[in-house]
Amino acid sequence: MAPEQNHRFGAIPEQATVEIEGFPAGTFPTPRCTFDVLDGHGKGEHLNFKKTVIRVGSDVLNDIVLSDPTVSRRHAEIRYEDGAYRLVDLGSTNGTFVDDKRINDVYLETVTNLSFGKTPVAFEAHIEGKAIEPSPSNRYGHIVGQNAGLRQIFAVIDKVAPSNLHVVITGETGTGKELFARAIHEGSRRAEHPLVIFDCSAFPPTLLESELFGHEKGSFSGATQQHQGVFERADKGTLFLDELGEMSVELQPKLLRAIETGEFRRVGGTKSIQTNVRVVAATNRDLEDWITEGRFRQDLYYRLAQVRFRLPPLRERLDDIPLLIESFMESARKGLSATSKTQITPQAIALMQSYSWPGNIRELKNLVERGVTLCDDERITAAFVQDELGLAPGAALVEREEDDSVLPPILEGEDGELIPLREAKDQLVADFEKKYLEKLLGKHKQNISAAAREAQVDRRHFYRLLKKYGLDRE
C-alpha cells in the first residue's frame, strides 16, 4: 500500500503555472536513489541511480548484481512512477522483504531497509525539485502560445501525461482547460480508452450522484432503466471533471472514496463496481479559499491536485494574440472554403492586444471566426473589432481604410522610413491606451472603480495602466 504523502501545497504565486505536490512552484521532481549493501559478498558497496527502472538479481545483466545463492537471476525491480519508488518482486524463490516483511508489490518510504533473499540492503530516495525549462515549441497539439508560463506547462505535460497522477487545472472561464485535459489524455497510456467529459455544474445536486456513479432501475422516481455513470464509462481511460468547484460538499466524500479505492456503487445498488480511472479536474474557483470556508474538502483537493496547472488569462499573454489569431483564422478559413483569403489589419491586431478579454481565448476565437465569416471585403478591420467588442466610438485606432498605402504618421521615423514592426505596434497600442483611458476617466469624472468596470478590467490592472501613462492622481 502506498504510504501517505505529507507534502502539501503552499500558496501559489500568481505568475506560477505549474506545481507538483510536495515541490516548490515551477519545479519538477528529479528522482535519484542510493543502495548500500549491508552484508554478504558485496558488503560496503554503495550504488547511486538516476534511472526510473532498476533491476536487482544475481545475473550480471542486472543494475544491482548480488552474488548470493538465495538471490534469483531476475529477483526484483524498483520503479519510479507517479512520484514515488515502487518495489516489485519478480517471482523470486526466496522472496523480497521490506523491514523483514515479505512483499510482492509496495511503494517505498524515503529510507527503507530491504532484503533480497538473505542479502540486506539500505535504500534511500533523494527526490529533488529542478526548475522547469519552458518547451522550445510554441505549439502543443491544438494549443498554441509563446508565453513562457504556457510553454512551461507544455514541458510538464510530456512528463506527467504518461503517469497516473491526477491533475487539477485552474483558470478563468475560456482559458482552454478542456484542451489541456485532452492533451494530457492523448499523451497518456490511456489514450486508446475513453476520455469522458463531465460538467459538474450542468446537473442539480439531486441528480449529480446518479450522473457520476449511475443508478439501478427503480432506485428513484423516473429511474425507468439502469444507467451507467461517467466513472463506469471512463473505465481504463480519463475522466475530465469540469467545474469541479460546483460539486456539493455532501457528495465530495463519495467522489474521494471512488478515486482512492477504485470502487463505487450505483445509486440504489448493493454491488461494488471496480473501475480504473484517471481524473483530470478543472475549476475557475479558488479551491484553497473554498477549503478555508468549508465549501470544499481538503482531503479531496490534495488527492486530486497531485499536479496543478494554472492557465494564465489572455490579458497576461497579450503577445500570444497574433499567433492565436493566425491559428483561428486558418481553422475558420478551412471551414468556409479553400478560396477564403480573409486577412486582418495591423490596426485590428493592435486594438485586440489592448483589450482585456474577459472571455479569454474563447472570446478571441469567436471574434476571429465571426470576422472571417462576416467581413465582406476579406479584411478584419479595427472598426469591425471595435464594433464587435462594443468599444466606445472613438476609442479604437483610426484606420485609413480608403487608402491602405497611407500609413499613420506614427509608423514613420523622422527620415520618412518605416520604423521596426515591434516599435510601431508598441507606439500604436500606447497611443490607443492613453486616449482610451483619458476618455473613460472623463466620462466617469475620475472615478477609477466605475471606469475599470466599464472597461471590464480588474481595478488594480486599470490603476497600473493609469500610472503607466501618468494619469493617476497621486
Q: What is the dihedral of CA 129, 135, 141, 147, to 10 degrees?
A: 100
What one-character-per-residue DSSP string does 329-391 give? HHHHHHHH-TT---EE-HHHHHHHTTS--TTHHHHHHHHHHHHHHH-TTSEE-HHHHHHHHTP
Measure the CA–CA gap between 469 and 434, rounded to whole angstroms: 6
Q: Are 117 and 34 in contact (CB under 8 A)?
A: no
Intervals of the chain under pLDDT 70: 1-16, 22-25, 218, 335-340, 392-426, 473-474
Say what the pLDDT of residue 425 is: 65
pLDDT value of position 142:
87
Q: Taking the model in full, what pTM does it have?
A: 0.66
Q: List pLDDT tens digits, range 395-406.
A: 434 343 433 433
The rounded percent of the chain whose pLDDT value lies above 70 is 86
Q: Check residue 309 and give its pLDDT.
A: 92
What rounded mean pLDDT belongs to the chain? 83
Q: Which helix (H) or strand (E) holds 197?
A: strand 195-199
| Cell numbers linked to 150 | 504556457
Digit-coded pLDDT (tens) for 124-136: 998 877 778 888 8
* pLDDT at res. 399: 40
- Note the pLDDT of residue 112: 93
Distances in Å between the alpha carbon of 25 and those of 12, 154, 180, 442? 7, 15, 19, 42
Q: How many whole angstroms separate alpha carbon 449 and alpha carbon 447?
A: 6
**So what's the pLDDT on residue 251?**
94
Burial letters for 181-206: b for 16+ Cβ neighbours within 10 Å, e otherwise?
Answer: bbbbbebbebeebbbbbbebeebeee
Residue (of 203, 442, 166, 154) closest to 305 by Cα position: 166
| Best CA proximity match to 437, nearest among 456, 452, 426, 459 | 452
